[in-house]
């Protein structure tokens, strides 16, 4: 019995021992087979070179898939930083961000490009010049006219090319027009060199800008004074319906309060007076607010008219020959 037990124990021990010995061999064999399978699978190796990577990015860009395009351009810059097209790719990253409406990212991309490839006296066809212009455009899209103007100022300081300077002066002039800083705008347009005066139609632009005196303007003080009679200020701002409503509303409430006090009902009179005081002050507020809205709209209309008749559309889109020039003239 004891021998039997010992024999079975011995057999089991022997079996486990054999298994343990075989285990590394089995593991090694399975790994080798797996590796052999992986290695055997790809029959062709694809090596992506710089032009292929750039083509892919350009394809995404042309199809309007700016998010992917920006990613592919970034991959290009990462894998081929020394490629002569890296500068172009960096610019396109900014442009893809701009086109997809990510203006803050666009500004960051253009700043990066300028910092890396800045050279003294760069000309119009260089990427830093274009980046400066697009950076200014991006800021304008963010409604930040100050930084937009600063970008153009920096471009003017850094470039040695007259064409680039004139372009920057022209754009800066329009930024000043947008903000209603007419004098500064005139100064910017005046800085454009004589060789480019006709290109930017500066004489006509300046003469049209002179007509800014004809922009109808209402006075807030007058609106306030007229509002002493309820609705008077609104009438002054050519808001006839609002004026009538304000007049009737205030008149009814004032008469009600008067009647209440006249009949010795002070509680009612006070209540109506409290309500009326809000409407009476609201009448002043509305009049002054309407003046500001009126003046803003008048200025906006003048700027739109000025743009339609004079503004040359300039695109800092990279073409091999430089800038695309579009002129629109309203008859």
Partner 1 sequence: MKRQIFVLFLTILLCLNTACTAHNKMLTQKKGTVLKSENENYLLYPANLYRKYISKIDGNRCSMHPSCSSYSVDSIKKHGLFLGWIMTCDRLMRCGGDEVKLSPKVIINGEKHCYDPVSANDFWW
Which chain residues interact with partner 1 by CB under 8 A?
234, 239-242, 245-246, 249, 252-253, 256, 259-260, 263, 265, 268, 271-272, 275, 278-279, 281-283, 285-286, 288-289, 292-293, 297
Q: At closest approach, how far in Å is the CB of 45 from partner 1?
A: 53
Comparing CB distances to partner 1, the nearer of 92 and 239 is 239
What residues have CB less than 8 Å from 275, skipping those under 6 apart? Answer: 253
Q: How far is the CB of 267 from partner 1 (least distance, A)?
A: 9
Closer Cβ to partner 1, 117 or 279, answer by number: 279
Question: Which residue, 97 or 290, is less far from partner 1 as judged by CB?
Answer: 290
* Minimum distance from residue 275 beta carbon to partner 1 (Å): 6
Report the nearest approach of partner 1 to the CB of residue 223 (Å). Answer: 12
| Residue 154 Cβ vs partner 1, minimum distance, rounded to whole Å | 30
Min dist. Cβ of residue 146 to partner 1 (A): 18
Integer Cα distance of 6 and 21 in angstroms: 22
Nearer to partner 1, 202 or 287 (CB): 287
Q: Which is nearer to partner 1, 117 or 247 (CB)?
A: 247
| Closer residue to partner 1, CB minimum distance, 221 or 293 | 293
Nearer to partner 1, 97 or 295 (CB): 295
Q: How far is the CB of 134 from partner 1 (least distance, A)?
A: 29
């Amino acid at each position: 019995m004891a021998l039997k037990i010992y024999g079975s124990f011995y057999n089991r021990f022997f079996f486990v021992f054999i298994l343990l010995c075989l285990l590394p061999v089995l593991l090694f064999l399975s790994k080798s087979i797996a590796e052999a399978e992986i290695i055997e699978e790809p029959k062709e190796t694809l090596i992506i070179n710089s032009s292929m990577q750039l083509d892919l990015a350009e394809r995404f860009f042309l199809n309007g898939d700016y998010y992917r395009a920006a990613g592919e351009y970034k991959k290009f810059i990462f894998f081929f930083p020394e490629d002569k097209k890296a500068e172009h790719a960096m610019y396109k990253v900014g442009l893809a961000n701009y086109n997809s409406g990510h203006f803050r990212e666009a500004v960051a991309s253009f700043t990066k490009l300028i910092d890396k490839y800045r050279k003294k006296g760069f000309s119009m066809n260089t990427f830093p010049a274009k980046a400066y212009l697009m950076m200014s455009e991006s800021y304008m899209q963010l409604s930040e006219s100050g930084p937009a103007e600063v970008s153009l100022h920096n471009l003017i300081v850094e470039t040695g090319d007259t064409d680039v300077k004139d372009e920057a002066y022209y754009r800066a002039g329009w930024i000043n027009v947008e903000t209603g800083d007419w004098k500064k705008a005139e100064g910017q347009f005046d800085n454009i060199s004589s060789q480019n005066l006709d290109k930017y139609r500066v004489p006509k632009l300046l003469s049209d800008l002179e007509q800014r005196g004809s922009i109808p303007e209402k006075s807030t003080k007058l609106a306030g004074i007229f509002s002493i009679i309820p609705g008077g200020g609104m009438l002054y701002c050519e808001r006839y319906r609002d004026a009538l409503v304000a007049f009737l509303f205030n008149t009814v409430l004032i008469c009600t309060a008067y009647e209440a006090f006249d009949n010795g009902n002070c509680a009612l009179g006070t209540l109506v007076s409290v309500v009326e005081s809000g409407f009476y002050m609201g009448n002043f507020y509305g009049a002054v607010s309407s003046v500001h809205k009126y003046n803003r709209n008048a200025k906006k209309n003048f700027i739109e008219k000025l743009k339609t008749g004079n503004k040359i559309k300039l695109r800092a889109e990279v073409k091999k020959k430089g800038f695309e020039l579009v002129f629109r003239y309203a008859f």
